[in-house]
Structure 1
């Protein structure tokens, strides 16, 4: 079975390459990525939707009726952003959480200073809670999603004014 980090790396490599389709199969696991359809599929017995391969875009012919509304909503809800600000983006499809648990304060809020390795949120995917780091040093200018929202691969989560 592939680890979520390995799947993320494969998605990044396919996304940055010129290939339109990628298939990897080992034992009972099959990963199939297609850029032109906008959806990556991981198969282990049943088919499970993992992440869109390209930046979210309106889907003319969705691969699965369940996935299409989430992608369309994410595109419509994307705000216009200042090009001089750094965007911390989601490395995967999942649920966005601002705090490690409901009783704890948020990792960051608008105005907070963060370092490159500072945890800014958690994205839960397939029952795995993945800590997302800032990747840059700076000040949080805006939080673009709400706690508990579904986020897509590559979707901006935070805007940071770099130091």
Structure 2
């Protein structure tokens, strides 16, 4: 059976993607998700019955099924921040891997960039640590940092936006 945290991570990934429908089967559990109007619709988690087990269950026995209902709603503070910034002309710098986001090279060092910082495409913006390897993430474009989308020490997913940059 999937853990609640694993289900939450799946919901988050599907919500951030362009996928409209998602079905995931793992170790006897099945998760189905469908998006409605940009948000992930209720999620159903049901056990998957294997054919060999199905034969045993044909004898009259009570069968327990589990269902989890959840709905993802954006936090009000996040939703308000998204409304205030027009992202149509901004470049998103995304995480190339799953890992931990760090704004500086060490806890006592200054952050690589701050909101309003001028950058070049070779500028190091942050570090994403994965499996004890510290990977420097570069800007990809010349411009100005409009917003830093994640907090120092936060776990990030592959493809998750980290920075919004106004290209020059």
Tell me how far 1:61 sits from its aligned partner.
3.5
Tell me how far 1:84 sits from its aligned partner.
1.0
Q: Supply the distance in 2 between the matched residues of 1:146 and 1:62 (Cα, whole angstroms).
A: 32
RMSD value, Cα: 3.1
| Structure 2 partner of 1:57 | 14
Q: Supply the distance in 2 between the matched residues of 1:129 and 1:138 (Cα, whole angstroms).
A: 24
| Structure 1 partner of 2:130 | 125
| Structure 1 partner of 2:151 | 146
**TM-score of the two chains, using structure 2 as the length reference:** 0.54
Aligned residue pair count: 103
Tell me how far 1:115 sits from its aligned partner.
0.2
Structure 2 unmatched runs, 5+: 1-8, 16-21, 32-39, 41-72
Structure 1 unmatched runs, 5+: 1-51
| SS of 1:56 mapped into structure 2 | helix
| Structure label with greater radius of gyration | 2
Q: Supply the distance in 2 between the matched residues of 1:112 and 1:104 (Cα, whole angstroms).
A: 17
Q: 1:141 to 1:128 in 2, by over 3 A?
A: same
| Structure 1 partner of 2:66 | none
Tell me how far 1:98 sits from its aligned partner.
0.1
Q: 1:127 to 1:63 in 2, by over 3 A?
A: farther
Q: What does 1:7-18 correspond to in 2, within 5 Å?
A: none
| Structure 2 partner of 1:99 | 104
**TM-score of the two chains, using structure 1 as the length reference:** 0.55
| Structure 1 partner of 2:62 | none
Q: Structure 1 segments of 4 or more deviating over 6 A?
A: none
